[in-house]
Amino acid sequence: MRQGAGLRIRLAALVALGAVAVLCGVTAPLPGWSVAAAAEAEDRASAYRTAEEAEPAEGTGSSTGAPELKARHLYTDAIGAGETLHYRVRLDGETNAHLSAVAALPPTGGAAYDAGVEVTLLSAEGTRCDGMRGTAGAGGFGLPVAATASRLVRPNAACQRAGAYLFTVERTGDAGSTAGDWPLEIAFMAEPGVTGGATEAPGGAEWSTEPPAVPGGLPRQAGGGTGFNDAAAIGKGVWRDRLEPGETLFYRVPVDWGRRLGVTAELDGAEPVGSAPHLGSGLLLRLHNTARAPVHEQGAAFDGRPRTLGFTTAPAAFGHRFSGAAKTGEMRFAGWYYLSVGLTPEAAGHLEGGLDLTLRLSLEGEPRPGPAYDGDAAAAGFAVTGEDRERAAEERPPATERTGADGDGDGAGAGTGGGNGALRAVGIAGVGAGTLLLLGLAVWTLAARRGGDRAEGAGAPTAGSIASAGMLHQPGAGRRRRPGHARPGGRPGPEDVPPEPHGGGYGYPPRP
């Protein structure tokens, strides 16, 4: 056998064996994978993703020249320290209007307790129709912060006349605690009027005050989003995810009329780096309703030990909107409810990587008839459809999946059904196999050139022949990035937006 041919055969055998080893999962992690995972985690914890269809708007410092917001549209803007932005809206006399503002505070934390936004809806005569203040809270990292204002159609109430109204967004808190402008997302959600049906609030005796049973079973993998627009759809059962320092993960759950939601969030402990931490409000669990108004909030200290947070809601009922109790009053819609879990960025100095998160969700009660809407409630975002239930049951994040931080060999995906972990394993295998093959091809080509005429007719494969077999390394293989998501769910699309107010947001009543 000629020397050149022998070298090529030996190289081919080594390349083949290396590819088999990679595909069988016996190869070591690729160099730089931990760096890529770290970069991915940093990217995930960075920015609130606004809706792709959101339109730019520039609020004014006074009512003069304020831009008009249209029903069932989303808008983006930015608000500076101490600013109050003004917008105009036109309301009819039959539709319930819900307007919301979501402020994306910096993910680095450090915001003052009262840092946030306050929204107000005013009539043309200056009458205050509604308002709410949303703040970062004790942890100072609760991004994003949401606040809502509503005009509810009801007899003998203020702000019932059709015409022009003024919607204002004020940035609150110490200007020095978080410098720079905050991105804003503003939504105008229009709920059709009602012509009858179940519009009364159920009596307190009609539902149990005991928490629903905590579901068991094997967890499925979930991929939390950055906010309301890319929240992952999940339903009844057990779900698993990975929470990084400075990150707030969002999920959405379909809640029908008459059903109440039970939530338990379990965070695994972690061996602290250096001294044991004690971060007073390092963990935060929140729930927002269909119109982005806050329903529940619970916080806990982070000290590296396992923690469990949770709550149970009142059943969803149209008549609850007239309740004086905030936690009951905000369970006023059927539709998507938004669950978020946050970990303070300060935890990054006390642990390596993130924490495993387990969510246990229960939905108690049978779906009940709701109000008779004078319009398409599902298209407006105020109904639960069969497609919504399927989406939540199938654990389909809208339009995309989580990225590299879901697994990374840390057990985040263990026992979850292996969706993301399996995809990553295939991706890594593809990268490894492709790299080995390219290396072998390069050396093979070099040997062929050195062999000169002796190498002719030896049958050395070409780049084209290998590529046609699907074996060439594809840039980016094995590392899935999370692109911008589509709107949360089907119908609520462009209109799945505004919220409605009640109570005083996160610990603060609306100002008189």
> At 106, is the secondary structure helix, strand, or coil?
coil
Q: Which run of H or of E encompasses 283?
A: strand 279-288
pLDDT (0 to 100) of residue 327: 86
Exposed/middle/buried for residue 13 (C-beta within 10 Å: 0-12, 13-18, 19+): exposed
| Distance (Å, whole) CA 172 – CA 429 | 50
Query: From start to end of 303-410, where are the E strands?
Result: 307-312, 335-343, 355-364, 371-373
Token duo for residue 457: 């007719």
Contacts of 109 (CB under 8 A, 6+ apart): 139, 140, 141, 246, 344, 345, 346
Q: What phi, psi does 17 have (nearest 5°)?
A: -65, -40
| Distance (Å, whole) CA 479 – CA 425 | 10
Q: Is the pTM of this model over 0.85?
A: no
CB 180 within 8 A of CB 376: no
Per-residue pLDDT of the chain in tens (512 residues, 90 and over written 9): 444 444 444 444 444 444 444 334 433 333 332 344 334 444 445 578 999 999 999 999 999 999 999 999 999 999 999 999 999 999 999 999 999 999 998 776 667 778 899 999 999 999 999 999 998 876 667 678 999 999 999 988 999 999 999 999 999 987 766 778 999 999 999 999 999 988 887 765 566 666 677 888 889 999 999 999 999 999 999 999 999 988 899 999 999 999 999 999 999 977 766 665 667 678 899 999 999 999 999 988 888 788 999 999 999 999 999 887 878 999 999 999 999 999 888 887 777 778 899 999 999 988 999 999 999 999 999 999 999 989 888 654 443 333 333 333 333 333 333 333 333 333 334 434 444 444 455 544 544 444 444 334 334 333 333 233 332 222 233 322 233 333 333 333 333 333 333 333 333 333 34
Q: Evaluate the omega torsion of the peptide bond into residue 272 and state whether it is cis, within 30 degrees of 0.
A: no
How many of the other CB atoms lie within 10 Å of CB of 408?
22
| Distance (Å, whole) CA 289 – CA 132 | 14
Q: Supply the DSSP string of 203-272, one letter for each residue.
A: PGGGS--SPPPPP-S--EE---BSSSSSPEE--SEEEEEEE-TT-EEEEEEEE-TT-EEEEEEEE---PP
Residue bearing tokens 């769910």: 489
pLDDT (0 to 100) of residue 413: 33
